Amino acid sequence: MKTLNVQLGARSYPIYIGSGLLDRSDSIRPHIPGRQVLIVSNDTVAHWYRDRLEQALHGLEVDVALIPDGEAHKTLETCNGIFGALLERRFDRTCTLVALGGGVIGDIAGFAAACYQRGVHFVQVPTTLLAQVDSSVGGKTGVNHPLGKNMIGAFHQPLCVVADTDTLSTLPDRELKAGLAEVIKYGLIRDPEFFSWLEEHLDSLLARDNEALAFAIERSCRNKADVVAEDERERGVRALLNLGHTFGHAIEAGCGFGTWLHGEAVAAGTMMAADLSVRLGWLADAERHRAGQIFSRAGLPVHPPKDMSPDAFRRHMSVDKKARDGRLHLVLLRGIGEAVLSGDVPSSHLDATLRATIAAA
């Protein structure tokens, strides 16, 4: 078991990474301060892992709330169902919510924990690669609104994160690949050495080699933990973690949440950001090519959906959380391993990128 600490003062917490952690009584249990525990999961994940997790929490008052699967259900309404479950069971301020599942489960359960009685405890047990390397680290929680993704939420740090690599064995191929998009992202934004390692070991990751996966997860979490420790509330450097996300969110919203997986949208969105970076003269074409190559090898899309218009992109991008007083700020690349937050991007360059990348699709 590898342990990695996210340094946030009084809100610091450990991430445990390894095989067989779900069963170990020394991973989650010591972190739960009260008696009442609500596991939040969905049918699919609960089918595989619920019993093992309940066993590890033996002796506590454990209940389970199953919520519908998928990004389309990441709504205030689903959250309200969790509040109902907590209130029906008379759960008080000392209770703990345990998110067992992917990023959607973690985001919803985390937001429910942030708001229930103005904040209760929270543990993340991510069971997808995406959640293990990204959404379960850093305390961002929230739900979607029909007019924008992740527009309603809170910063709420977990007591601990338990990433059991065994859970990836039941992950569909498409979701494994979507998770790799975020792994590759860390290489692109701040860790060129890791990017090279990924180029070399991508096939092992796709073959689900346990050792390669554990290394990639730990390195990804370490990158994210370093950034979050420096800028918990995203006043500055944390925004760089959103490489590809402004374009990506527009794709997800434009196609209807759940049609493209988040990681797929991030891959295509990153290549759009790379295109814009090349246009601005910031990124060499050869480096954009390297980025495109690794996404393609991972079976990820490198173009936006061809039926989405530049107008649709602009509409969805204008509500992005990185917009400030009407100006759009984008994360762009100056090289492999060097992301920067742009000032106001000239709209002529943005238009050219939208037209060119959609045409290439």
Residues acting as catalytic residues: 118, 140, 182, 224, 234, 238, 242, 245, 249, 262
Query: What is the phi/psi pair of residue 149, to 5°?
Result: -80, 140
Instruction: Tell me how far, at minimum, the Cβ of 341 lies from a second copy, in Å.
Output: 14
Q: 256 to 315, contacts with a second copy by CB under 8 A? A: none
> Which pair of tokens denotes residue 152?
């309603």
The span of 82-90, 172-180, 193-201, 223-231 binding a second copy (CB under 8 A) equals 82-90
Among 256, 324, 344, 361, binds a second copy (CB under 8 A): 324
318 near a second copy, judged by CB under 8 A? yes
- Cβ proximity to a second copy, 179 vs 248, nearer residue: 248
Q: Which residues pair with 121 in a beta bridge?
A: 96
Calpha distance 220→63 (Å, rounded)? 32
The span of 110-118, 207-215, 217-225, 301-309 binding a second copy (CB under 8 A) equals 110-118
Among 18, 102, 142, 248, binds a second copy (CB under 8 A): 142
> Which pair of tokens denotes residue 304?
């936006």
206 near a second copy, judged by CB under 8 A? no
Q: Half-sphere exposure of 41 toward its Cβ, with a 13 Å CA cutoff?
A: 25
How many other CB atoms are found less than 10 A from the CB of residue 244? 31
Say if residues 323 and 329 touch (Cβ distance below 8 Å): yes
Q: 2 to 61, contacts with a second copy by CB under 8 A? A: 34-36
Q: Is 87 helix (H, G, I), strand (E, B) or coil?
A: helix
Three-class secondary structure assignment of 148-194: EEEEEEEECCCCCEEEEHHHHHHCCHHHHHHHHHHHHHHHHHHCHHH
321 near a second copy, judged by CB under 8 A? yes
Q: Is 206 helix (H, G, I), strand (E, B) or coil?
A: helix
118 near a second copy, judged by CB under 8 A? yes
- Cβ proximity to a second copy, 48 vs 155, nearer residue: 155
76 near a second copy, judged by CB under 8 A? yes
119 near a second copy, judged by CB under 8 A? yes
220 near a second copy, judged by CB under 8 A? no
Among 3, 80, 169, 309, binds a second copy (CB under 8 A): 80
Instruction: Tell me how far, at minimum, the Cβ of 80 lies from a second copy, in Å.
Output: 6
Q: Is 325 helix (H, G, I), strand (E, B) or coil?
A: coil
- Cβ proximity to a second copy, 140 vs 288, nearer residue: 140
152 near a second copy, judged by CB under 8 A? yes
The two beta strands, 13-18 and 161-164, are parallel
- Angle at which helices 173-190 and 285-297 cross, to 10°: 160
Q: What is the DSSP secondary structure assignment for residue 121, as one 8-state letter?
A: E
Tell me how far apart the 2 most distant CA atoms of the chain are, in Å: 62
Among 117, 204, 210, 259, binds a second copy (CB under 8 A): 117
